[in-house]
Each structure stands twice: as C-alpha cells, then as structure tokens.
Structure 1
C-alpha cells in the first residue's frame, strides 16, 4: 500500500466543556483520503491550548502532565500505524484508530515489568542471586527511567511502543550522557535485552525485541594496584570535621584494604555485623 499522507491533528471541542471549564481534546487521523475522529480521553483549560503545537503552553502542573499524556498518545498512534504498514496490506484511518484503542490500554509497560522482574530477583537474593546483581538491575531501571524521561518526555513506555532504535539510543545515552565505561554499558544493555526476551517469552510483547543488537565485547584491562605511598597518604590525610561522610568513606576503604574484602561487601556492613571478641 502506498502511503501518500499520514497525519494526526489534535483540537479542542469547546462545545463540550465540563463544569470545571475544561474542554475535551479530540483527535483526527488522516491516512491518504480517509479520516477517523477519536477522543483523546484528555481535557484542558482552553486558554492554555496552542493549536499549532497541539500542546499546552506554560509549565503549570496541568500543562506538564497533559503534554506528557499527549506525547504518549501520539507515540502510540505512530506505533499502531507502523504495525499496519509492516503487514503490507491496505488499511484506512479507522484501522489505525481501532488498533490504537484496542491495544494501548492492555499493553504492559516496560518499567512496570522491570519493577516486577526486580521483585522476583529480590526473592532469590542470597540464594542463587547476589546482592550486587540485584543492585545492578536497580541501576538499569533507574537509567532507563531517566532515558525515557529525557528522550520521550514520558514516565514509561508500553512494549508495543518500543522500536529497534530504542536500544541503540539507550546505549549512546549511557555512553555520552552518563559517561559509563564500555564494560558497564555492556552489562546494562545485555541485561536489558535479557529482560526483553523474558517479556517476549511470557507473551507481554509480540516481537522479540533487539535480538540482533550486538553490544560488543569490552576491552580487557589490567587493574591498577595502589602503591603503599598512596595508601599512606589516604590513611593520614586530614579531612574536614564538618564533613563526616568523607571520613566514613575513607575508613571503609581502609578497612576493605586491611581485611582484604570486596568494596561492595564492605559498604553493605551494618551494626548487626559488628561484634566484639572476647579479647576486646
């Protein structure tokens, strides 16, 4: 099917204003010569509406929240359109509307699934899952949320809204914006792909996402050891008394060096782990 025109127009239905003085936001999908109207299930104060931008003006709570919802809606419409195009069959504007209304509300969102997956992993913590591994998944979740917020201006995305460029964009975000090492990025992206595969196996998304994306093998480097002179400098350095956190961090580092324990285990120590021996 040849697509000559695809357009989504949003407008206010001022004749249907509610008791709070807000007008419903309506939409019109155009595919070639066919059109279909639909309700966005949103409303706003008419004075804030910018018809050219199809957004609310200003930074009020109403404007920010409604604009996020509009962004989510437009992304869903685009995804519904893309799915129909991929089927290589003829379709009209009403088909895009029906695909939108029939799928968006029932789709599982990415971050909600990640939260559920982390909860499942937490039940295995200390059994067949280390505390540091669960912590890594939580860091991935945090960075995913920040990435979605910055790139899409949304709080979450449905699996059906994810496209192949998403993972490469996330990869570059971790590299360019976060400045993570190649090793950390490899771990984060690989575990993210693993979660998408699990979601596919559970029937939460129709396609096996990002199966062909290759992260690359991180360059192996030899860890640098701390010289005795540098260790003594850290041990004897005078730290500001008004910044006790620095002293605690330094002491934990020294303890890890003296005891030969991993830093991740050292920072997990609590008062319950500290005991006084018989000899004091």
Structure 2
C-alpha cells in the first residue's frame, strides 16, 4: 500500500489530490483520500507531507488512520477465508457492501424453484401454491409498510416478524392458526437464507408459535353407523357418501382415496388385505389393514362401468363437487356439524381406532404422520374411551368406606 500525489487536470491549482493505492496479487485499486498537498511539500519516500506545520500533522494523521484501516480490513478479509481483491478492501474502508444486498424475493424464488423441481418427489403442487400465495401477501404487507414490494433480508428483524403476524390477524383478517402457518413459511425461507449465508442472524430466534385450540369435527360411533345405514336416492350422493365412509374407515384423505388403484391393495403378513400407498401431501408411506366395511365398498365398485377402462378402485368425483354433495348429505341427515374429508380422517383417528384401543403411535403410522404431536391433533379421547378406562376404578372405589356427618342441625 502507498500514498501518492495525482497531478490535477486543473493547471491553475498548485496542489494535487493525495491518492491511496492498494495492490493485491498484482491487481491494484486507486482512490482519493480527499486531502491535497503541493508537490514541494510531499515526501515521495515516506508517502507523507513534509514539515511539522498543523496542516501537515493533520494530513499525515489522516493518512496513518487510512493505513491502519486498510490493514485491518485486509486482515478481516483473510479471516473470512474467501479470496478478495483490492476493490473489496476499498469497499470495506468506505463502508460499502462487498456484495449486492440479498433480497427476500431472491430467497423466496430460490426456495420455490427448488420445490418446483422436486414436485412429485419431496413436494406437492399444493405446497408450491401455498408458498406463492404467502409471497403475494408478503408483498402487499411490505408495500404497505415500506412502499416497496421487496425488502432486504438483513432488514428483517424480530419486529418485522411480529408486525407481519399482527397484520395477518388484524388487517388481513386471518384466523390465528392460518396466520401461524403463513408466518411459518416465512420462517422456513428466512432459515434457508440464514443457513446458506445470505443472512447473518436469525430474526425468528425469539419468535414463539401460539396455536389456537380448535374443535375438530368427527363422527361419533352412532353417527357413523347412521350414515352407513342410510340409503340415498340420488346416485351422486350415494357415491360421495361411499367415498366419505371409505375415508372414515381408512383415514385416507380425499386426494389419496380417489387415486387408489388395484396395485395399492396388497396381502399383508397376517394374510389379510392392506392398502399400501404414498400420501399426496408429503409422500409419506402409509400401510393400512382393511376393515370389513372397506372390503365391501371395494367389492361393490369392482364391476362399476365407470371403472372398466381404468385401474382405480373407486369412482372419481371432483373435490369441489364432493364437498358440495357432503353439504347435501349433512342436511338430509339432519346434522349441524360440517362434513368434510378432513372430518373423515378425524373420525378414523378418534372413533374408529383410538376409541377402540388402537395405540396412538399405530394411528399416526396409518395416517402418515411423522410426528406424534400431529396425530394428537387428530385423535381425541372420547367419553366412551374415558368411561371404559375408568370402569376398573369405579369397581375399585365402589365399596370404599366413607364416613359422613350430618351438619344440617348445627
């Protein structure tokens, strides 16, 4: 590194700008120190001003400061373990960023492009659509707060996260659990940016998820029997009821139910028939032993004309129409609860399995859950199960002596 005078193009001035030059591996970078000096007052050998005048002392002190800063910046770049050039030292000395700032949209597009490339393997189209939807909402929020549709990653802090969470629940009008799911997707993208080095700190480190307890509908054993015994006149309602019952007795979602084909029905080690398939949502493998009602439903549609040219085991109905017909079925049954295929999965977890003594770990495996906590959201302890579990205790305490004193006369 050296300091030198650069001749001014303005011939009328006797002084010149003092420049700093830094050379690294044969490459050099020159820039002005914003100080001037006349030729006769400059010492080429020391790279400083001559004399002991106040002006010379002030200028030389500034040059010493630049020299110290340049060495410090060079050491920082060495410590970072990355190759660098004189330009990088200059940028650090002048407070500039070495690389262009990484933006949230860049991190979001990086993640969604990988999701798109892994569709059908690690992700489903629904997951990609959800991330794109959250990104659109984020753009609206950023535009509202910052008059832009994007934000630097290093500008995302804990307050940004809290304010976005608040915006979703108030201005955007989402329910608590829906807002939580959207913030979680932001956290996923930010975590990826942090792990690949685009972000130096994790703004979510203090963020705690707070779910709202939600009552999830399921059919009781009596209601399930009523629906199974009910006969409908319209064919579309019959088909949708059968699809719904199939889901109640297997725990499969609507998407997994309608895609089942004959190759998914296998003989298990117990000699009975099992369903072995992979969930559309997360590609998790599920294996489910088939109950009698399921076997009868499969046999009922075995020779259905709608399935002759296909390998599916059940008729197909669009998800939109199926939900609409379930509303008609609810009305005909005289029920107030809302029937959905998610309700059918909860019915399988609660009424069909857990209430009948199936361990929750087994229920989770059949539902395709990776975490037991997820299964706990599906499986509810019913009054029937509580009554059955408490029956031995009732017998134990039935004859226990209890001394009672009448206090009415006191």
Give the structure-1-normalised TM-score: 0.46
Choose 1 or 2 for highest CA Rg.
Answer: 2
Give the structure-2-normalised TM-score: 0.33
